[in-house]
Amino acid sequence: MKKETFKVTPWEVKGDVDYTQLVKEFGVSRLSDKLLKRIEKHAGELHLMLRRGVFFAHRDLDWLLDEYEKGNKFFLYTGCGPSGGIHLGHVGTWLFTKWLQEKFDCELWFQFTDDEKFLFKDKSYEEIQKWTYENMLDVAALGFKPGKTHFIVDTRHAGLLYPIAVKFAKKITFSTVKASFGMTNEDNIGKIFYTSMQAAPAVVPSVLKGKNVPCLIPLGIDQDTHFRVARDVYPKLGFYKPAIMHSVFWPALKGPEGKMGASDENSAIFTTDSAKEVERKIKKYAFSGGRDTVEEHRRIGGNVDVDVAFQYLRFGFMEDDVKLEGIRRAYENGDMLTSELKSIAIKEINEFLKEHQLKRAKAKKDVEKFLWKG
């Protein structure tokens, strides 16, 4: 059979992603058992996204842990492009980030790239500002450590970021940006500059403290390209290269191809979806690894690898490994039907969202607290 083609850029993920090929192309490393053991030694446990390979690759994590073991603590940096609602894929990465913050007692710098989304999307400046605020509520609701968590918004914290970004911009050429992101002469000039804004927060604490601080960036692997371009520049400016941990993509509702994205209402479950809406989306759209007829399903069993409801449980909504294994076995041997599996996923996701929506409503007063005031 002909190999499926796929595409992974920070702005588009298409097709059946071959992670082995991606690891090679991007030049990242798989998380080895040895590294996982080192993380476990410090954290006292392994997060389920590490146990199950959702976070699967890295750059320079060995170095980061060496520094940590020498007493040189690192900070975390991640971000959100505010162009629509927050979906489960975002939440997954950020819950993992929260775990790292707790286990390693880190500061977290959280960037909201309103400039990026304005430049790349066909949306007004005002609409992007609205999403910036809405998205901040979701991040604040996740319960990062107040006092150790700093939100920065690109246009609002330009005074902090811009002096750093121009230094990156001076060392990145248009031809590198063209080659790395597929940009053309017709792209607006803001897009060409943007990578330097995303590179900047990785050194903000170093700049503020006047001494280098190691940085770890948890991200979806589509975001790696910005840092691949910027990594050559960090040492030229006298900074450490940031370490990175990469996650695979959360599957879209409609199937294993592409990723959950905010631009298609029915491909994603949003944090603001009602319980009814979640139920409707999963029942109607979630790609099933079940068979055409109950008789056939009972006889040969379902396929959990392509089953989206199962994958959401595996990616985060079923913490208990033993329970998850039980579901896998029951589905694979035909004892459990698709409707039953979907019901479990609906219940688990809705339990999470109910809590989250309460916290989100309360977060309105926390947002100010998290915004960096320098």
Residues within the interface to ligand TRP (CB under 6 A): 10, 78-81, 111, 113, 116, 198, 217, 219, 223
Minimum CB separation of residue 273 from ligand TRP in Å reads 20
Q: Which is nearer to ligand TRP, 137 or 304 (CB)?
A: 137
d(CA 317, CA 326): 15
Strand partners, 77: 109
Minimum CB separation of residue 226 from ligand TRP in Å reads 7
Minimum CB separation of residue 159 from ligand TRP in Å reads 18
CB 42 within 8 A of CB 67: no
Q: Which is nearer to ligand TRP, 107 or 307 (CB)?
A: 107
Q: Which is nearer to ligand TRP, 247 or 350 (CB)?
A: 247
Residues shown for the chain: 374
d(CA 195, CA 361): 33
Helices (H) and strands (E) in the chain, counts: 19, 9
From residue 300, alpha-carbon distances to 53, 242, 267, 314, 337 in Å are 27, 48, 28, 22, 12
Minimum CB separation of residue 293 from ligand TRP in Å reads 41
- Which residues, at least 6 apart from 336, have a Cβ–Cβ distance to it below 8 Å? 302, 327, 330
CB 125 within 8 A of CB 165: no
Q: Which is nearer to ligand TRP, 131 or 331 (CB)?
A: 131
Minimum CB separation of residue 246 from ligand TRP in Å reads 10
Helices (H), 84-173: 88-104, 114-120, 125-141, 158-169
Which residue's entry shows tokens 């969202």?
353
CB 112 within 8 A of CB 132: yes
Minimum CB separation of residue 198 from ligand TRP in Å reads 5
Minimum CB separation of residue 83 from ligand TRP in Å reads 8
Minimum CB separation of residue 218 from ligand TRP in Å reads 7
Q: Which is nearer to ligand TRP, 143 or 261 (CB)?
A: 261
Helix (H, G, I), strand (E, B) or coil at 168: helix
Q: Which is nearer to ligand TRP, 111 or 311 (CB)?
A: 111
Q: Which is nearer to ligand TRP, 151 or 331 (CB)?
A: 151
DSSP 192-247: HHHHHHHHGGGGHHHHHHTS---EEEEEEGGGHHHHHHHHTHHHHTT-PPPEEEEE
Minimum CB separation of residue 249 from ligand TRP in Å reads 12
Q: Which is nearer to ligand TRP, 132 or 223 (CB)?
A: 223
Residue 97 corresponds to which amino acid?
T
d(CA 58, CA 49): 14
d(CA 374, CA 361): 27
Q: Which is nearer to ligand TRP, 60 or 307 (CB)?
A: 60
